[in-house]
Structure 1
Amino acid sequence: MNNCYRGYILIAFWVCSLAVYGQTEMQAIDTLRNIRLQEVIVTATQSNAPGTRSVIGQDAIRHIQATDLSVLSQLLPGVLVRNPDLNAPAAFTIRSATYENTTNALGTAIVVDGLRMNNNANMQQMGLEGRGSLFNSTVLSGFDVRSLSPSSVESVEVIRGVPSARYGDVTSGVVLVKSKAGIQPLTIGIRLTATEKLASVGKGIAISNNGGTLYLGADYALSNQSPQVFEESFQRFGIQAAYAKDFRSATLRFNMRGYWMKDNDKRGQNTVDGEFRKYLDQNISFSANGQWKLNRSWISNLEYQLGFTYGSQKNESSTYYSGTQQVTTYTAQAGEHAGVFLPPHYFSQLSVEGKPLSGDVSLAANHRKTMGENISNHLQLGLHAEVEGNRGKGISFDPLRPPLEMLRVRTRSYRDIPLLYKYSAFAENYFILRYGKMRTEVQAGVRFTQLPTQRLQRNSSVDPRINLSQIFIDRTDDTFLSRFSVRLGWGLMHKMPVLAYLYPDKSYTDMNCFTYNDAENNQRLTVMHTFITDRNFNSDLRLPVNQKFEIGVNFRIGGVIADVVWFKEHLKNGYCTSQLAEPFSYRHYSPLISKGEQPELTDEGVMNDGELLPYTLNTTFATYLSPQNGIEQEKQGVEYTIGPIHSKTLRSSFYISGGYLDVCEKNTALSALHPQIEVNGKAYPYVGIYETGPSVANTQIWQQLNSRFQCVTQIPRIGLITSLTLQAVWMDKQQRGMESRFNNPVYMDSNNQKCLNPVYYIDGEGNQHPFTPDMATDERFADLVIRANTTTAFLKDSYKPYFLLNLRVTKEIGRHVSVAFCANNLLQSNPKRYRRSIQKYAVVNPDLYYGAEISICF
């Protein structure tokens, strides 16, 4: 046991000792009587608003000791615990089988104080061809919520079901973040874990008598991947200001946020001295919102909101390449050009700079009317306008020393990309009817969105949504059944395209036509043929749409609240990229063997001694990535929460929550694959078109059933809260497969290998032909058949149940100080489970994670 871990155990022992001392000695002299006058809620609760949504209050945020916003998702029913990791980008996912599902993360809206914090204008990539090469880039995924310090958050509301029509550009769900504001005591927090160090400070004051309130806050975070690896680190510095003032007939709320984040990897890609990778992300945002109370017969009030965000994102790297004997070109013109001989050893410097910006303004008119004591109606009509863009310098590197992985990429400025505008209008009515002891609530609305761009043929969407709640019983007395209600929800939600899909860079394919290298006479020449295609933009790109339906039941028996919801979702046309191919021809000149030759490139071609060198006309294929609508997700499941079940004897409350999730994700986009082999000294003459990528699978299924049993012990009189949580995963299944729309199934060949034929093949003229089963044994086409790596590729991985124990302790000391301790996987339970599909063992559950926090409040 290392010294750091031993120190945290001592802190936990000290906290528990204080609790015992408070129960014994302090009963005589109760100086802590006013620290806690009532119990606090340290779990997520179901909101009374329409639809399925969870509210996470400040006490729960503080008790769970989250380091970023994504950690709060583990308070939602059915979500498994994971350890915080500030060294990797974090996105918020809702009803997802994995935290890393980019489709789900991209469709999750993060709204902070009414301002959308999206990732639509992120262009930190080396074109679609090199999108995965930049260090810790979140392009084509969700907003990196590491930038939002939980210490600055008052509450978080997660809409898991059908959101209001006022929220657009969303398919998964909505996360509403409310920052701290108003009069707040001076609070200083320090948090230490084995890998992280965090600090925060905040204070809210009143400005004169009627000057409103002002809240100021700041936070800092430092994280290393592990105590032994200091070369890879993360730093975050954030500031926040919130001003609020109420006038006689109006309200004003002004919020400003800023953050500076830096990911640093001094080891680089090959861990050679002088290599490094770093990612810098800075952002500042302003938002103002409020309402104007008109109190007219035809309008109650006007709500307004306007906001602006401006960021600076920069990836920088230095990579060492050794033993290279390559030639390349950096021209952006098609045709033959003199190439460049790369040095055998060199460092390549790369910079990708983006400056995403966004702005939005909305105006909503409200009309509230009550008719007697039984009927009330709230009609809302709104307009919303948005603008997004990126003013960054883009991609830049030394073309004489390029990154080898990016030989097909050229420098590009993002300033050439035009601003993108979106306009929306929505109408929604919230109707309440009371009759006897029952009540009916209906929230129905529709949202229209227009994307005025000629880039897309389909650039508008209509999102109808409805939430219905029928309350049969709602009493405040202590009857056996004091509440019983049923709710229904249905709606459509569309996701707008991101800039990287709307404005991909052209694709460059460079072929070596001729190389002559006479080092003795210092005479050398290389000629490259560059083929350029702009067909990687897809004007037929459609907007992804998710259809949600859910049925929920909520009831309270003897003070115990139970909420159960069954949901079904179907996402169509999800964004992805697929590889396409286009044939082209180029000259391949006969080589010069003798020394002392003086070849030169002219308009006619490569000349030597005044004569054009003989050449052959070769045909090959340029492959490139293009955005597609290939992702389809079907999911259904059950989420449930039960509690609190109070035990006065134990001074504890018990909560049970969990869920069942069944997700099937398919990638239906057709993808091209060109075998990298030669036939008679030339490139393979055909390209296969498949219903999958390089593997033989296009479908993945997840099934998971889990429960969370939580015991929360609170002694308000001494300010002690402990929560012990047992996580049980009863079912964990995964399976990959292949589903064909063209009656083209996977089959077994004579060697007992799983094989997949292409649906079509393309010849050198660009003509497309059907691929018949008998072609698989024809030596001309046999290389187009792709095979699985193992014979067990499609077997289902099914794990036996496994369990996890987590502990949280919060203790108030005096009137101004509180300490806290947390431990994930307290018993270090990391069982191994065998994965039949890859014939290897996998370790389940996160590793042991522990930390302590101290908070000083004046």
Structure 2
Amino acid sequence: MSSKSIHRRALLLGVLLSFQVLAVDAQQLKIEGKNQPLRSVLKQIEEKSGYSFLYDESQINVERRINIEVNGALPQVLNQLEQLTYLKLQVSGKNILISKASVGVLSGKVVDEDGKGIPLVTVHLKELNQYYFTDNNGSFRFQFPAHRLKSANLQFSMIGRQGASMTTVLSGTNNTVADITLPILSVGLEEIALTPRTNRRLESNSSLYINREVIEQSGALSVNDLLSLIPGQKIAAPSLQQVQQANLRSATLSTNSFSNRDPFALNNSFGVALIMDGIALSNNANMQTLNAGIYGMGNSYVNGKISGLSGSDAGTDNYTGDYTFGGTDLRQIATDNIESIEIAAGVPSVKFGDMTNGAIIINRIAGKTPLNFNVQLRDNATVYGMSKGVDTRKFGAFTIGGNFTRSFEDNRDKLKSYDRVGGNIMWSTFAGKEKAFTNTLSIDYGRNIDKVRRDEDDPTATVMRFKSYNFAIGSRANYRIDRGFLSNIGLNVRYSETYQNTYKEQDVNGTYIIYSDATETGVHQGQYASGIYQAITNIEGKPIDLTARLDLTGTFQTGDLLHQVNFGSFFNYSKNIGKGQIVDPSRPRNNTIAANADIRKERYYDVSRIRGQKQLGFYAEDLFTAKIAQRDLNVRIGTRLDKFEKYVTFSPRTNINYAITPALTVGVAYGWASKAPALAQLYPGPVFYEIPLFQHTAFNGGSVDEANSLYLMYIDKFTPDNSTLKPSLSEQFEFSATYEYKDFKWGLNLYQKRNYRDIVTVTDFEKVVLDKYNDNPDPNADVPYIIEGTKQYRLSRFVFMNADDKRTQGIEFMLSTPKWMAIATSFSVRAGLTRSNYRPLQNMATFTNNTDNPNRAESAIYPTQRRTTTVSNAAITSSTHIPKARLLINFTTELNLLNKTNTNASDGIPIGYYTQDGTYHAIDNFDRNNVDYAHTLRPIEEINNQNQPAVYTNFHLNVSKEISKRLSLAFHVYNVFNYRPQYKRSDNSMIIPNGKPTYGAQLRLKL
């Protein structure tokens, strides 16, 4: 046979065999097995495909049981089997070779400026969510499934050093990256972070990342000062003299730290999660408030006057240091040992729950550091801080820090002060093979005293104290798994206990008082007491909070896609074991003489009898990167389930971004979130009413003759049932875009958010008909009264409801330019516009009836029309950075562009009113001359007096200079030009949008 014939036949045979192989590959195989041994599954595949499996039984456990259900071609079946068994399956002719999957190694070294290894640097492998502490030589070593992971993103961080990140391509089983240098933070470095940055690898598309460099340049007294770096936020002078609660993406009627607070602003701050070291700092068990059923949610705070000086900015009589119903007071969190802050105002990861308005994620790290001593002197505050990190080599690293702050509202009288003392110990250690187990234990203690001293020149002055002592212990543990589906197991646990005390004393100078300590419904006899006494308000709370979160990370592959699956659970227990509202009825705060009495009264309320609050949550999310047109499509999609009492909420969320070009990335995000009610909303306490029925007061020698006096009152007890309060909800859609080209960067966020079922208080009325008591005409009768007929009374109280509905749209913009080398200056712009549309469930005003007219309106009802508030602010910063001179100068021009609320003239015209007996009267056509309700008309000047008539500017300066590697100085000025424009509101009140200049100098010493 000729050679050509042999070649033809061989070629024909090869073609036929190829078609046979393709036919088998394309053949649809249906493989099913529930809890079946691997041997049985392999036999099933062999019978249906015609292929044979070859393996070494000493290496491969074929008796292990698996669950499989797949219908597809042979490659699809084998791929599914690889995911379930973590074995490597390779087709060779009609045989399928089974072997253990190869494990790759990714290693490297972290060094300092001199090339020496740095121990205990935290290295994070993003794709597997694994952590590693570098050894004594600065080396790290990760193991990964070589057949799955093709690239890796590494992040390096250590307190006191400039962080770094890198992406490396993985090839084969042994990968070593070049040495990573982490220099000590210094303005002498050629490249430093000057502004917050966005990053597609953060928790959401629009997250803002603030690293340690930016924190040190800011001169912040607390975390709250860093929030002014968010686009659209107004810059406030650094101060600790008012309660500071985070508000993200909200524009409502202006509110402040004083006792009359906007419920929309309270709900927004209550819905912002404050995450520290992976655990939320809860304010759910805070019950430092008077009875909200008497005063309403926004007016139930203990308050008083804080300065008597003429012209003082503190010249107000309604200051309070409590922060119930809102978020945690940010004044309590110093910035000394914070490594980074991520502000996720958009749609965060589903692993964060119990929030509706975003999250502030604070990261702290322990490690070896020099002895750092920090002093900051401001015109209204003095701050001392010290920290030291020690590497024991054998027992891990310890970081110990402490700070003390003393601040005054006005240095001229020093009546109002705020003191903060804090201490922290963090211990980071590792154990196990290849340091697979890492743990950071943290212990925190803090004392915060907000005090108002008595003004000796004012006989009506009060003493107020708002104290808070905090203790917390927490643990962050991670266990790295190098083989199998799971790659990391994380467990975060935190227990905190706080002592809170709100105290106020004021002198009362009257003739006499009448009081009752009765707590049962019915007619009771009042007791007489001297009208000269010291009234004391005392509220004691002891919130305890236990939170645990289990985080599991796994990886699997579908085709060419590597999926990172994060799933886990969350548990929180909150309770208040304090004494609550300690009330002495014989020394009431308010007037109890019958002619002027408020019939709603206070009683002792023991909050420790309230049962604790439990929350349970589960979450799961999938992260993967797909290639579309050779560009990365990053997807984060997941959902969480939260259970609170009898209510279950689902919160699906997704963040997707796509790199249209190497420079331009666009993204969309959508998600839901929920927030459980607080204990103070669920259990505000009973409301007592003291309705005066009869009073006969006899006097003897100028004093009350109690034996011959009689006061009868009807006691009514109302205990609210708030078990029907549901968790608040929010829904948000967001579009984002970022552009980065040659150090020119800009970012844009467009968002629309809706808040449902926010919790507020509304006024409710109840009528009660009681006997009418009159004087007995017979002076010799046994009782001095007679009962003639009946009289109807109106009982009013505030009740909590899921009521408010708010819709918010906004734009956020950030831009930063490269450094213009000729002047060593770069520029950055941040701006935002927020528009909130909201409608309260109830719009009511109460009026005092000082007349004898029983038909006079005491409570007027107004239209509950939607209102729209629009706020816009911007800031332009020039940063002059001269590394050789170790000098950085930041000059910021702030623009307050818009602050306006759209209202209608009809908003001040009542549509009805209540009289003193509880009768409701509708008003069809308002008559200005009607003596019963004419006084209820609210002029338009009173309604729209928040509107800002023009654009106002302000200017700020920060200068940082390193004298040496050990010593640096900084100078911070708010309103550097003392520019304080004024405008008059429609109610004739004068507004000064810019605060007075404040100056601060800061010294940092590293030993």
Question: TM tier, shorter chain?
Answer: 0.7 to 0.9
Distance 1:795 1:418, change over 3 A: closer
Q: 1:787: which partner in 2?
A: 937
In the alignment, the residues of structure 2 paired with residue 472 and residue 790 of structure 1 have an alpha-carbon distance, to the nearest angstrom, of 51
In the alignment, the residues of structure 2 paired with residue 350 and residue 792 of structure 1 have an alpha-carbon distance, to the nearest angstrom, of 33
In the alignment, the residues of structure 1 paired with residue 450 and residue 229 of structure 2 have an alpha-carbon distance, to the nearest angstrom, of 27
Q: 2:710: which partner in 1?
A: 525
Q: 1:773: which partner in 2?
A: 924
1:70 to 205, 212, 224: 224
How is 1:372-411 mapped onto 2 (pairs within 5 angstroms)?
Answer: 375-404=561-590, 408-411=601-604
2:215 to 53, 57, 61: 61
2:443 to 256, 259, 267: 256
Q: 2:1003: which partner in 1?
A: 854
Q: Is contact 2:776–2:785 with CA below 8 Å preserved after alignment?
A: no
Q: 2:829: which partner in 1?
A: 656
Partner SS, residue 465 of structure 1 = strand
**Counterpart check, 1:463 vs 2:651:** yes
Partner SS, residue 214 of structure 2 = helix
Q: Is contact 2:856–2:933 with CA below 8 Å preserved after alignment?
A: no
Q: 1:498: which partner in 2?
A: 678
Q: Is contact 1:776–1:782 with CA below 8 Å preserved after alignment?
A: no
Q: Is contact 1:509–1:532 with CA below 8 Å preserved after alignment?
A: yes
Partner SS, residue 555 of structure 2 = strand
Deviations 1:102-143 (A, max 9, x none): 221111111111121121111011110241234311111110
Residue 443 of structure 1, CA deviation: 0.6
Q: 2:10: which partner in 1?
A: none
Residue 820 of structure 1, CA deviation: 0.6
**Counterpart check, 1:320 vs 2:320:** no
Partner SS, residue 246 of structure 1 = strand
How is 1:266-305 mapped onto 2 (pairs within 5 angstroms)?
Answer: 266-267=453-454, 271-272=458-459, 275-305=462-492
Distance 1:791 1:649, change over 3 A: closer
How is 1:696-715 mapped onto 2 (pairs within 5 angstroms)?
Answer: 699-715=866-882
Residue 778 of structure 1, CA deviation: 12
How is 1:657-806 mapped onto 2 (pairs within 5 angstroms)?
Answer: 657-669=830-842, 676=849, 690=861, 699-737=866-904, 746=907, 754-758=908-912, 771=922, 773=924, 782-783=932-933, 786-789=936-939, 793-794=943-944, 797-806=947-956
Q: Is contact 1:190–1:200 with CA below 8 Å preserved after alignment?
A: yes
Deviations 1:232-272 (A, max 9, x none): 11101001111111223211111121110001111379943
Deviations 1:816-858 (A, max 9, x none): 111110001111111112323x244321122211110111111
1:133 to 302, 319, 325: 302
State the AA in 1 paired with 2:922.
Answer: F
1:168 to 335, 340, 353: 353
Deviations 1:461-495 (A, max 9, x none): 11111111011223xxxxxxxx1110101111111
1:118 to 267, 282, 300: 282
- TM-score (ref. length: structure 1): 0.85
**Counterpart check, 1:638 vs 2:811:** yes
Residue 724 of structure 1, CA deviation: 0.6
How is 1:83-98 mapped onto 2 (pairs within 5 angstroms)?
Answer: 83-97=237-251
Deviations 1:730-758 (A, max 9, x none): 333234458xxxxxx64xxxxxxx42113
**Counterpart check, 1:364 vs 2:551:** yes
State the AA in 2 paired with 1:419.
Answer: G
Distance 1:300 1:52, change over 3 A: same
State the AA in 1 paired with 2:740.
Answer: R
State the AA in 1 paired with 2:368.
Answer: I
Q: 1:809: which partner in 2?
A: 959
In the alignment, the residues of structure 2 paired with residue 430 and residue 215 of structure 1 have an alpha-carbon distance, to the nearest angstrom, of 34
1:514 to 664, 683, 694: 694
Q: 1:213: which partner in 2?
A: 397
Q: Is contact 2:730–2:754 with CA below 8 Å preserved after alignment?
A: yes
Q: Is contact 1:501–1:537 with CA below 8 Å preserved after alignment?
A: no
State the AA in 1 paired with 2:289.
Answer: Q
Distance 1:846 1:148, change over 3 A: same
Residue 795 of structure 1, CA deviation: 7.3
In the alignment, the residues of structure 1 paired with residue 960 and residue 328 of structure 2 have an alpha-carbon distance, to the nearest angstrom, of 31
Deviations 1:523-550 (A, max 9, x none): 222122111112x334442322111111
2:968 to 818, 822, 827: 818
In the alignment, the residues of structure 1 paired with residue 763 and residue 375 of structure 2 have an alpha-carbon distance, to the nearest angstrom, of 49
How is 1:100-249 mapped onto 2 (pairs within 5 angstroms)?
Answer: 100=256, 101-128=265-292, 129-130=294-295, 131-134=300-303, 135-207=320-392, 209-247=393-431, 248-249=435-436
Residue 391 of structure 1, CA deviation: 0.2
In the alignment, the residues of structure 2 paired with residue 792 and residue 488 of structure 1 have an alpha-carbon distance, to the nearest angstrom, of 41
Q: Is contact 1:619–1:685 with CA below 8 Å preserved after alignment?
A: no
Partner SS, residue 225 of structure 2 = helix
State the AA in 1 paired with 2:674.
Answer: H
Q: 2:495: which partner in 1?
A: 308
In the alignment, the residues of structure 2 paired with residue 269 and residue 761 of structure 1 have an alpha-carbon distance, to the nearest angstrom, of 43
Mean alpha-carbon deviation: is it higher for 179-188 or for 339-348?
Answer: 339-348
Partner SS, residue 166 of structure 1 = coil
Q: 1:416: which partner in 2?
A: 609
In the alignment, the residues of structure 1 paired with residue 725 and residue 429 of structure 2 have an alpha-carbon distance, to the nearest angstrom, of 45
In the alignment, the residues of structure 1 paired with residue 718 and residue 851 of structure 2 have an alpha-carbon distance, to the nearest angstrom, of 24
State the AA in 2 paired with 1:717.
Answer: K
**Counterpart check, 1:572 vs 2:739:** no
Structure 2 residues without counterparts, runs of 5 or longer: 1-183, 257-264, 304-319, 592-597
* Bigger RCO of structures 1 and 2 (CA < 8 A, at least 6 apart): 1
Residue 653 of structure 1, CA deviation: 1.3
Q: Say what the alpha-carbon RMSD is for the aligned residues.
A: 2.9
- TM-score (ref. length: structure 2): 0.73
Structure 1 residues without counterparts, runs of 5 or longer: 1-31, 454-458, 475-482, 598-607, 739-744, 747-753
In the alignment, the residues of structure 2 paired with residue 210 and residue 48 of structure 1 have an alpha-carbon distance, to the nearest angstrom, of 38
In the alignment, the residues of structure 1 paired with residue 740 and residue 728 of structure 2 have an alpha-carbon distance, to the nearest angstrom, of 38
Q: Is contact 1:44–1:60 with CA below 8 Å preserved after alignment?
A: yes
1:449 to 638, 642, 647: 642
In the alignment, the residues of structure 2 paired with residue 115 and residue 706 of structure 1 have an alpha-carbon distance, to the nearest angstrom, of 32
State the AA in 2 paired with 1:46.
Answer: T
Seq. identity, %: 19
Distance 1:211 1:716, change over 3 A: same
Q: 1:431: which partner in 2?
A: 624
Residue 204 of structure 1, CA deviation: 0.7
2:194 to 29, 32, 42: 42
State the AA in 2 paired with 1:545.
Answer: L
Partner SS, residue 267 of structure 2 = helix
State the AA in 2 paired with 1:544.
Answer: S
State the AA in 2 paired with 1:380.
Answer: N
Residue 642 of structure 1, CA deviation: 0.9
Q: Is contact 2:793–2:916 with CA below 8 Å preserved after alignment?
A: no
Residue 229 of structure 1, CA deviation: 2.2
Residue 446 of structure 1, CA deviation: 0.7
State the AA in 1 paired with 2:570.
Answer: H
In the alignment, the residues of structure 2 paired with residue 609 and residue 728 of structure 1 have an alpha-carbon distance, to the nearest angstrom, of 77
**Counterpart check, 1:585 vs 2:769:** yes
Residue 661 of structure 1, CA deviation: 1.6
Distance 1:429 1:669, change over 3 A: farther
Larger Rg: 2
